């Protein structure tokens, strides 16, 4: 397989400000490319010039990782590599896996094979990586609400016990990143401390820390209220298939109705357990070698 460029990898994760980071890359694209960096990021949320299509295996097709997904991933990374660059900055929140498995009590169940596929496809060292982590209660609630915007979803309460008894967590993912990506250094950032995207890039690529990069203007992210999610789920459960502009219009219509309908709530006891687990997991990560934790 063709030798690739050394990588700096922003691993997301989901619901941790990844779109803002990618918007910052787009905002500074010309300057970064002039500095010898290739940029690879997807175009979700209408990120300018985002065209990364990195497909990695899911639990149902792990056996095809080397025959199907590896060649495709290698070709995709090569497509974003230019002749005169010296490294690639890759940002993709789906590298560890998808959020769809949370209600079943599975924390990125295909992370091993996805990381293995990326490492083999890169054919070059991962010099440094950044992972933004989030408190479990907020992560699971945010993931559920995001998916419920444009998918038929079961009630949140049906998956609460599974999420409370999740099979693993952030420390396990950190260990897998070292094992499969062979990353030399890993920066782990608590979502509440993430700050500016340009500062995260400076932690990912230290030689860019002093470069005067532009922080993009904050865009209003109008998340769906409970009222909007109730209206959307009623449509989906009636068999409707809604185009993007239609479900976004429904979200806008209910924007001012902020009364809680209990759509995505943990009990107080469950919240205490998950918050305590997160604190313990950050303590565990802080003790790991080659990890810089910002909390």
Q: What is the pLDDT of residues 102-131, one digit of tens each?
A: 999 999 999 999 999 999 999 999 999 999
175 token code pair: 């260990």
**Taking the mean position of all CA atoms in its chain, how far away is CA 279?**
20
Residue 239 Ramachandran class (φ > 0 left, ψ -120 to 50 alpha, else beta):
left
Give the C-alpha separation, 86 to 2, whole Å: 15
- CB-count exposure of residue 273 (10 Å: 0-12, 13-18, 19+): middle
* CA distance from start to end of the chain: 39
* pLDDT for residue 219: 60
For the chain, the helix, strand and coil percentages under 3-state DSSP, each to the nearest 5? 50, 10, 40
Residue 56 pLDDT greater than 60, yes or no = yes
User: Is 72 within the bounds of a domain?
Assistant: yes
Give the C-alpha separation, 272 to 119, whole Å: 37
Question: Which CATH number covers residue 50?
Answer: 3.40.50
User: Is 248 within the bounds of a domain?
Assistant: no
User: Is 266 within the bounds of a domain?
Assistant: no
Work out the pLDDT band at 223, boundaries 50, 70, 90.
confident
Residue 37 pLDDT greater than 80, yes or no = yes
Looking at every residue in the chain, the average pLDDT score rounds to 95
* pLDDT for residue 2: 59
- CB-count exposure of residue 259 (10 Å: 0-12, 13-18, 19+): exposed
The alpha helices in the chain, defined as continuous H runs, are 18-27, 29-34, 70-79, 111-122, 136-148, 160-164, 170-176, 197-204, 226-237, 244-253, 268-286
Residue 92 pLDDT greater than 70, yes or no = yes
User: Is 163 within the bounds of a domain?
Assistant: no
Residues sharing a CB contact under 8 Å with residue 201, sequence separation 6 or more, in sequence order: 21, 24, 25, 89, 208, 213
User: Is 237 within the bounds of a domain?
Assistant: no
Query: If you average pLDDT over residues 242-250, what whole number do you get?
Result: 95
Number of structural domains found in the chain: 1
User: Is 270 within the bounds of a domain?
Assistant: no
Q: Is the peptide bond before 281 cis (omega within 30 degrees of 0)?
A: no
Q: What is the pLDDT of residues 5-21, one digit of tens each?
A: 899 999 999 999 999 99
- Helices and strands (H, E) in the chain, number of each type: 11, 6
Q: What is the pLDDT of residues 67-80, one digit of tens each?
A: 999 999 999 999 99
User: Is 227 within the bounds of a domain?
Assistant: no
Residue 87 pLDDT greater than 70, yes or no = yes
Residue 220 Ramachandran class (φ > 0 left, ψ -120 to 50 alpha, else beta):
beta
Query: If you average pLDDT over residues 177-205, what whole number do you get?
Result: 96
User: Is 67 within the bounds of a domain?
Assistant: yes
Distances (CA, A) of 292 to 132, 210, 282, 283, 286: 12, 19, 11, 12, 7
Range of the domain at 66: 7-139+168-219+279-294
Q: What is the pLDDT of residues 147-177, one digit of tens each?
A: 999 999 999 999 999 999 999 999 999 999 9
113 token code pair: 């094979």
């Amino acid at each position: 397989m063709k030798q690739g460029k050394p990588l700096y990898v922003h691993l997301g994760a989901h619901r941790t400000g990844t779109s803002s980071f990618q918007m910052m890359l787009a905002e500074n694209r010309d300057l970064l490319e002039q500095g010898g960096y290739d940029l690879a990021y997807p175009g979700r949320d209408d990120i300018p010039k985002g065209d990364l299509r990195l497909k990695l295996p899911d639990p149902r097709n792990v056996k095809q990782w080397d025959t199907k997904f590896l060649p495709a991933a290698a070709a995709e990374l090569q497509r974003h590599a230019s002749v005169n660059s010296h490294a690639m900055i890759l940002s993709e929140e789906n590298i560890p896996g998808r959020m769809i498995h949370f209600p079943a009590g599975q924390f990125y169940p295909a992370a091993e094979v996805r990381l293995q596929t990326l490492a083999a496809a890169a054919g070059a060292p991962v010099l440094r990586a950044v992972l933004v982590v989030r408190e479990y209660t907020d992560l699971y609630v945010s993931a559920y609400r995001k998916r419920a915007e444009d998918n038929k979803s079961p009630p949140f309460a049906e998956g609460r016990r599974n999420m409370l008894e999740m099979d693993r967590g952030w420390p396990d993912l950190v260990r897998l990143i070292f094992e499969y990506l062979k990353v030399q250094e890993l920066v782990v950032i608590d979502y509440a401390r993430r700050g500016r995207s340009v500062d995260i890039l400076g932690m990912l690529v230290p030689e860019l820390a002093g470069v005067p990069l532009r922080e993009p203007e904050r865009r209003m992210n109008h998340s769906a209220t409970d009222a909007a999610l109730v209206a959307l789920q009623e449509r989906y459960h009636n068999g409707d298939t809604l185009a993007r502009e239609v479900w976004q219009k429904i979200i806008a219509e209910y924007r001012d109705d902020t009364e809680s309908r209990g759509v995505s709530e943990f009990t107080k006891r469950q919240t205490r357990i998950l918050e305590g687990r997160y604190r313990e997991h950050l303590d565990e990560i802080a003790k790991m070698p080659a990890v810089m934790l910002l909390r």
